[in-house]
Structure 1
Amino acid sequence: EILIGLIGSASRWRTMPWLVLVFGIMIVPLGVVSITFIIIQPILLGTWCSLCLITAAAMLIQIPYSVDELIATCQFLVRRKRAGRPMLRVFLTGDTDEGPDDGQRVESFERPPGAVIGEMLGGGIGVTPGLAVSAAVGLWLMFTRLTLGTEGGLADTDHLIGALALTVAVTAMAESARPVRFLNICLGAALVIAALVMDGNWLQKGADILAGLVLIAASIPRGPIRHSYGSWSRLLV
């Protein structure tokens, strides 16, 4: 909640939506740009950039932590608009939300450090077995040039699908973005088709087909959703 720009008052929290937008611009679009650079490096440049890899990994990890903040802010703006408040004014100057205040808020400085850190790292984030497998498959696909000696169009396809699958899996680790995992079903199917039509030896093709099928199967289970996200929760299939 610190990241979405909440200003404390005696009985309410005042939300600043513009601050969330700035935060989203810093995390999501820059993360996409970094991942794009990782995708094109071996395909167009034929090499890797260690610094770019580190930067992309750092940006990718931040994406699931930002999704619920953006969703919560959009829900807040919708609620204030339905309450008759001017959207632009609320967006720029902030507003207080509806609902009772039970006065039982616990200040962060009064909580044990372990509880605060645990909530920061795990709040709204869940690494399910399916997402862990999907991330591992995506990471492995990015390096089939080294592990299987794959070359040409099949190697480029492996790298592209692997990078995208890894990105989807990490993003879907946010409970509020869990449906994003279904994109990996499409990527898995594309990998199977590419293995069947592109040049490669039987080991390379077989490994890609198996990886595609595993990616599809691992993307079906949703995993547990431990938190409530208001009206957004009904979309978390």
Structure 2
Amino acid sequence: MLLSPLTFSYAKGTVDPSGGRDLWLSLEQRIQFMKWSDILSGLGLIFFGWRSLTPNRPISLWICCFIGIWLSIAPVLFWSPTAAGYLNNTLIGMLVISLTILIPGMPNMIMYMKMGSEIPPGWSYNPSSWPQRWIMIVLAFAGWGVSRYLGAFQLGYIDHAWDPFFGEGTRQVLNSKMSHSLFISDGAMGALAYTFEFLMGFMGSPSRWRTMPWMVAVFGILVIPLGLVHIFLVISQPVMVGAWCTFCLLAAAIMLPMIPLEADEVVAMFQHMKQAKKRGDNLWEVFWKGGKPFEMNKDERSPTLMQFPQMPGKVYKASIWGMSFPWTLTVSTLIGLALMFAPGLLGFDIQATPSDIFHLSGALIVVVSVICMGEVLRFGRYLNILLGLVVAVGPWLVNSENLMLNIIGTLAGLLVAALAMPRGPKTENYGFWDKYVK
């Protein structure tokens, strides 16, 4: 990193972001900020890397880790003027994080990890097992690839954003006022978030719901609330921009199943914290150091990832324990998809208010239905009742002249509302959370 500004001149072959976007930094500032960021980061890695060669210096290792995080953020924040700077920073940033806290393990974390249960008390499976995390890692990597492509266009490293279905839709979305309202590239920001999700999938032992509550909480924040924000921004595109973006939809589709897949681990962590509070433990210490276990058990149900080549089906099934697919939610998902694209397919004005109701409500029905396939979030399906009524009544209230569209909305909306009533199967046990699976 120290030699990067000499190896890759950030002042030669510079590019401007797509769509004539106004940046918060001038070109000269972008060049200088990237140069000094690399130099200072390189010096920091040399010094604290040297200090960390001596055992039991976790602070130096964590500082190196945060330098790696900064290197991943800097080219996005400073709108790296060259693709070489972006590539160099993001790849070295990931390597630094991996070499400080992933490959060697968390610094001194073994001192805090108490021996105990691998399966949460009252649960029928381990939500932190490697099969459960494997699918999250794969999804995060796929999302990283898609978002990196979108970010490369916005940052100006490529001249064209290909869209197989909506023609110029991707360019319209990525260069829209909604996108330009952010001071950084939303595509590159998505790639940054997926980078951290991918790396955090490897962090911790198969008991991390108990031994590392802080890490599960951070991972849950990245996946659930920030994932929902990402999805809502994507589904608002036809309303705010008047166009669809295939790869934006693909990124949202990758993020969507990650939410129910991660929710069970967050619930298990929350259960451990609640039990620790009831026992009178110091919650601050439990949050950062895990605390004492409540049971002693072994996870004898989860297959190992080494079995994947011989038994891919078994490992895949273990990766989606905690999710079930009731026919009611499956049909609601299909109806939601149909509502999203119905105005365009039927030849109606996709920028009219009734079409906006179809776009937004249909997308939200899909989001709610897929998320509630996670059994710990099954109670959220009742939101589909409200969304169904909006689709059934909304087009009539805005004085739509498209009678056929109104009738389609009424039938589809009432059907979605009715399908939200049955709970569907409950295939696993979730300790104290069982009473909320209803």
Q: TM-score, normalised by structure 1?
A: 0.90
**2:243 corresponds to 1:47:** yes
Which residue is equivalent to 2:345? 147
CA contact (8 A) 2:302 2:318 kept: no
- C-alpha separation in 2, matches of 1:233 and 1:40: 34
SS for the counterpart of 2:433 is helix
Give distance in 2, aligned partners of 1:15 and 1:93. Answer: 7
- Does 2:163 correspond to 1:163? no
Deviations along 1:162-217, one digit per CA (max 9) or x if unpaired, are 11111000000001111111100011111111132121322111000011011011
Q: Does 1:218 align with 2:416?
A: no
Q: For residue 123 of structure 1, what is the amino acid of its counterpart?
A: W
1:104 CA displacement: 7.1
Shift of 1:54: 1.1
Q: How high is the sequence identity, in percent, across the aligned residues? A: 35
Q: CA deviation at 1:111?
A: 7.8
1:37 positional shift: 1.9
Q: 1:107 to 1:128 in 2, by over 3 A?
A: closer
**Largest Rg, 1 or 2:** 2
Number of residues of Structure 1 aligned to a counterpart in Structure 2: 233
Deviation at 1:39, TM superposition (A): 2.2
- Distance in 1 (CA, whole Å) between partners of 2:206 and 2:419 is 42
Q: Distance in 2 between matches of 1:197 and 1:179?
A: 29
- Which whole-Å CA distance do the structure 2 matches of 1:164 and 1:200 have between them? 24
Please tell me the root mean square deviation across aligned C-alpha atoms, in Å.
2.3
| Equivalent residue runs for 1:86-97 within 5 Å | 86-97=282-293
Amino acid of the structure 2 residue aligned with 1:38: V
Tell me which protein shows more helix as a share of its residues.
Answer: 1
Matched, 1:173 2:373: yes
Instruction: Point out the more displaced range, 200-209 or 27-36.
Output: 27-36
More RCO (CA 8 Å, sep 6+): 1
Q: 8 Å contact 1:30–1:59 — kept in the other structure?
A: no
Matched with 2:171 is: none
Q: Shift in Å at residue 43 of structure 1?
A: 0.7
Taking structure 2 as the reference length, what is the TM-score of the superposition?
Answer: 0.50
Alignment partner, residue 138 of structure 1 = 336
Match of 1:194 in 2: 394
Alignment-mate amino acid for residue 221 of structure 1:
P
